[in-house]
């Protein structure tokens, strides 16, 4: 067998046996990606994954909890998928862990389904967003009252010195809008008001009238001055008062609220690199999507929001994690923690990009399966599902990057 055709896409997927016999094999053999033989128990599953359920395909933005839409996040999991996984692999009261929680999709769905949650991530933006979703104000009325009071408080505070703001940030905003935004962000940070802070981050950049920047994309901050030149669209470059926009954003977040407060089910949410995180004991389930080895750059793509959060940011580990060697080290580290901290019968579901196109292709599923075989020997790979990532979820549509993801389901058997 030189290559096997993927069930859905028709894309040939190299496998270990392919590496031994095909022309392309030598390239793979010379790389340290595969340990010959080690993956054999899982070779067939990795090469021939099951198709993901068809109901995962349509967009769910018009049905999901609107808290999921508080602020955009690259590489975000669809909430319908997170919900399905939580329902299928856990029962109410069980502990669900996501050590790459990103925007908190899994954590919010789990808490809303009455599961206890532990969430961590290296990014301050991710943790702000996750805490916002897990601890929203009690009602829309309470939240709007807070925003109104915030407006009065901010009006009384002195403006920040914008000369201290880097020029690349200033380019995105009218000076008055920027001064107001910084004052509000600083006030909310000093009081750990994650929900309103996340709502502010959620309106930071886009060209729509409800947002704060000059015309820019919403997900990744790129100015669109060529498409919307200031002389043709002067309104888009005018001062944009923040409080009315924050009010409108907060109202949108309450359009489809959770039935009960997710905060009752939060064990902890921590900003931590996976290498440093201490996982809680007696975990029932891990549901997580690790970064896709160089396919997404969370620091660059969230640069404006991270700048506003202004937290000391150690890029090195995050960036390292996006290389093959870094990914492998993270997965080995996580697998050994999982081996120590999970209960018998626990499931671990990893959502990984497959394959990652770059100068040398990488296969995260294989790396992950190998990490479990090496450092979490009590687990068995039960199944792999394969899903296509629609362009709408990809940060850079024109580029190759990750188009397919695998769902690897491990179960602790002893
Ligand atoms: C694919 S995203 C997770 C998306 C998430 N499932 C969601 O629905 O929003 C991967 C996450 O890993 C985080 N990350 C990258 N390197 C990390 C590291 N070394 N330790 C912990 N988190 C890391 C990124 O900040 C990013 O939020």
pLDDT tens sequence across 341-384 = 999 999 999 999 776 665 666 778 888 999 999 999 999 999 99
Dig out the tokens for 300 from the structure.
Answer: 């660059």
Judge whether 149 and 119 are in contact, CB under 8 Å. no
Judge whether 95 and 285 are in contact, CB under 8 Å. yes
The single residue listed with the structure tokens 């009010």 is: 247
What's the gap in Å between 362 CA and the centre of ligand 1?
18
State whether the Cα torsion 1-367-111-191 is positive or negative: negative
Which stretches of 116-197 are assigned E, i.e. beta strand? 116-121
Pocket-testing residue among 86, 96, 102, ligand 1, by greatest number of atoms within 8 A of Cβ: 102
Identify which of 89, 121, 90, 91 has the alpha carbon closest to the alpha carbon of residue 105.
121
Helices (H), 204-360: 242-253, 298-301, 303-309, 315-321, 324-341
Residue nearest to atom 18 of ligand 1 (CA): 273
Judge whether 143 and 254 are in contact, CB under 8 Å. yes
Domain boundaries, the chain: 56-129+262-298+315-412, 140-253
What is 56-129+262-298+315-412's CATH superfamily? Vaccinia Virus protein VP39 (3.40.50.150)
CA distances from 143 to 108, 182, 199, 268 (A): 19, 20, 11, 23
- In angstroms, the CA 345 to CA 90 distance is 10
Residue nearest to atom 26 of ligand 1 (CA): 102
Furthest-apart CA pair in the chain: how many Å?
Answer: 73
pLDDT digits (tens, 9 = 90+) for 216-247: 998 889 999 999 999 999 999 999 999 999 99
pLDDT digits (tens, 9 = 90+) for 271-291: 999 999 999 999 999 999 998
What's the gap in Å between 238 CA and the centre of ligand 1?
35
Q: Tabulate helix, strand, coil % of the chain (nearest 5).
A: 45, 15, 40
Dig out the tokens for 318 from the structure.
Answer: 């995050």
Residue 72 CB–ligand 1 contact under 6 Å: no
pLDDT digits (tens, 9 = 90+) for 360-371: 667 788 889 999
Atom of ligand 1 nearest to the CA of 288: 6
Rounded mean pLDDT of 27-34? 36
Dig out the tokens for 146 from the structure.
Answer: 């807070």
Atom of ligand 1 nearest to the CA of 272: 21
Which stretches of 329-403 are assigned E, i.e. beta strand? 342-353, 379-388
State yes or no: cis peptide before 126, omega within 30 of 0: no
Dig out the tokens for 7 from the structure.
Answer: 């069930």
CA distances from 291 to 10, 100, 297, 385 (A): 25, 8, 9, 18
Residue 318 CB–ligand 1 contact under 6 Å: yes
């Amino acid at each position: 067998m030189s290559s096997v055709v993927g069930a859905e896409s028709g894309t040939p997927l190299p496998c270990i046996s392919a590496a031994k016999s095909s022309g392309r094999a030598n390239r793979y053999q010379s790389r340290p990606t595969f340990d010959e033989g080690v993956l054999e128990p899982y070779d067939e599953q990795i090469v021939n994954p099951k198709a993901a359920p068809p109901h995962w395909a349509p967009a769910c933005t018009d049905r999901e909890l609107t808290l999921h839409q508080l602020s955009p996040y690259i590489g975000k999991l669809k909430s319908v998928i997170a919900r399905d996984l939580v329902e299928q692999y856990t029962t109410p009261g069980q502990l669900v862990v996501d050590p790459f929680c990103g925007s908190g999709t899994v954590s919010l769905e789990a808490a809303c389904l009455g599961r206890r949650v532990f969430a961590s991530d290296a990014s301050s933006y991710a943790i702000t967003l996750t805490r916002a979703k897990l601890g929203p104000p009690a009602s829309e009325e309470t939240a709007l009252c807070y925003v109104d009071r915030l407006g009065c408080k901010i009006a009384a505070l002195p403006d920040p010195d914008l000369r201290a703001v880097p020029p690349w940030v200033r380019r995105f905003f009218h000076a008055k809008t920027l001064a107001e935004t910084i004052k509000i962000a600083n006030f909310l940070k000093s009081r750990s008001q994650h929900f309103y802070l996340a709502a502010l981050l959620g309106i930071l950049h886009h060209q729509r009238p409800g947002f704060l920047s000059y015309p820019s994309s919403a997900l990744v901050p790129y100015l669109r001055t060529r498409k919307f030149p200031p002389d043709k669209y002067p309104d888009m470059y005018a001062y944009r008062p923040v409080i009315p926009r924050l009010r409108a954003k907060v109202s949108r977040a309450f359009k489809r609220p959770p039935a009960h407060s997710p905060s009752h089910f939060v064990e902890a949410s921590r900003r931590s690199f996976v290498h440093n995180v201490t996982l809680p004991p007696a975990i029932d389930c891990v549901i997580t999507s690790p970064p896709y080895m160089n396919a997404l750059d969370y620091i660059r793509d969230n640069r404006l929001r991270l700048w506003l959060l202004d937290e000391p940011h150690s890029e090195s580990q995050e960036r390292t994690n996006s290389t093959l060697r870094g990914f492998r080290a993270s997965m080995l580290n996580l697998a050994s923690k999982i081996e120590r901290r999970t209960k018998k019968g626990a499931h671990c579901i990893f959502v990984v990009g497959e394959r990652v196109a770059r100068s040398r292709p990488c296969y995260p599923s294989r790396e992950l399966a190998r990490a479990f075989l090496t450092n979490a020997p009590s687990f068995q790979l039960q199944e792999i599902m394969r899903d296509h990532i629609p362009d709408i979820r990809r940060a850079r549509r024109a580029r190759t990057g990750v188009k397919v993801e695998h769902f690897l389901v491990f179960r602790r058997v002893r």
